[in-house]
Chain A
Amino acid sequence: MKRPVAVGMILLGVSIVVLFFLNLLLGSVSVPASQVLKILFGGESNDIWQNIILKSRFPQALTALVAGAGLSVAGLQMQTVFRNPLAGPSVLGVSSGASLGVAFVVLLSGRIGGIALSRLGYMGEFAMTIAAIVGSLAIMALIVYVAQKVRGNVTLLIIGVMIGYVATAIIGVLKFFSAEEDVRAYVVWGLGSFARVSGGQVMTFVAIMAVLLPLSFLLVKTLNLLLLGDGYARNLGLNVSRARLWVIICAGVLVAVVTAYCGPISFLGLAVPHLCRGIFRTSDHRVLMPSSLLAGAALALLCNLIARLPGFEGALPVNSVTALIGAPVVAVVLFRRRKEDTAE
Chain B
Amino acid sequence: MTHGNTIELHSLAIGYSNRHSVKTVAEGISDTIRSGELTCLLGENGAGKSTLLRTLSGFLPHLGGEITILGKPLSDYREKELATVIGVVLTEKTNLQNMTVTELVGMGRSPYTGFWGRLTDEDRRMVDEAMALVGIEALASRMVQTLSDGERQKVMIAKALAQKTPIIFLDEPTAFLDYPSKVEILHLLHRLSREMGKTIFLSTHDLELALQIADRLWLMARGSGVITGTPEDLALNGTLDRFFRRKGVAFEKQTGLYRIEPEYHSAVRLTGDEIACQMVRKALRRCGIDASAENDAPISIHAEPGRFVLREARGGEKVATSIAQLLEWL
Do A and B form a real pair?
yes
A residues touching B (Cβ–Cβ < 8 Å)? 2, 83, 220-221, 224-225, 227-232, 234-239, 277, 281-284, 286, 337, 341, 344
Q: Which residues of A contact B94 (CB under 8 A)?
A: 227-229, 232
Binds A, one of B82-90, B132-140, B299-307, B314-322: B82-90
Q: Which residues of B contact A230 (CB under 8 A)?
A: 92
Q: Which residues of A contact B254 (CB under 8 A)?
A: none
Q: Which residues of B contact A234 (CB under 8 A)?
A: 58-59, 79
Closest to B142 in A: A344
Closest to B78 in A: A237
* Nearest-Cβ distance from residue A203 to partner chain B, whole angstroms: 31
Q: Which residues of A contact B99 (CB under 8 A)?
A: 227, 282-284
B22 within 8 A of A: no
Binds A, one of B105-113, B198-206, B287-295: B105-113
A235 to B167, CA, bound (A): 12
Given contacts A229-B92, A232-B88, A341-B146, contact A283 B98 (CB under 8 A): yes
Given contacts A83-B95, A225-B110, A236-B111, contact A286 B82 (CB under 8 A): no
Interface centre among A221, A231, A277 (most CB of B within 10 A): A231
A227 to B98, CA, bound (A): 11
- B contact residues, range: 35 or more
Given contacts A231-B88, A344-B143, contact A237 B98 (CB under 8 A): no
A286 to B110, CA, bound (A): 14
Is B98 in contact with A281, judged by CB distance below 8 angstroms? yes
Given contacts A221-B116, A234-B59, contact A283 B96 (CB under 8 A): yes
Is A238 in contact with B116, judged by CB distance below 8 angstroms? no
A213 to B35, CA, bound (A): 47
Q: B86 contacts which of A83, A235, A239, A286 (Cβ < 8 Å)? A: A235
* Nearest-Cβ distance from residue A34 to partner chain B, whole angstroms: 44
B163 within 8 A of A: yes
A220 to B79, CA, bound (A): 19
Q: Which residues of B contact A220 (CB under 8 A)?
A: 116-117
**Chain B positions 53 through 65: 1 when the CB is less than 8 Å from some CB of chain A, otherwise 0:** 0000111000000
* Nearest-Cβ distance from residue B171 to partner chain A, whole angstroms: 9
Q: Which residues of B contact A238 (CB under 8 A)?
A: 79, 110
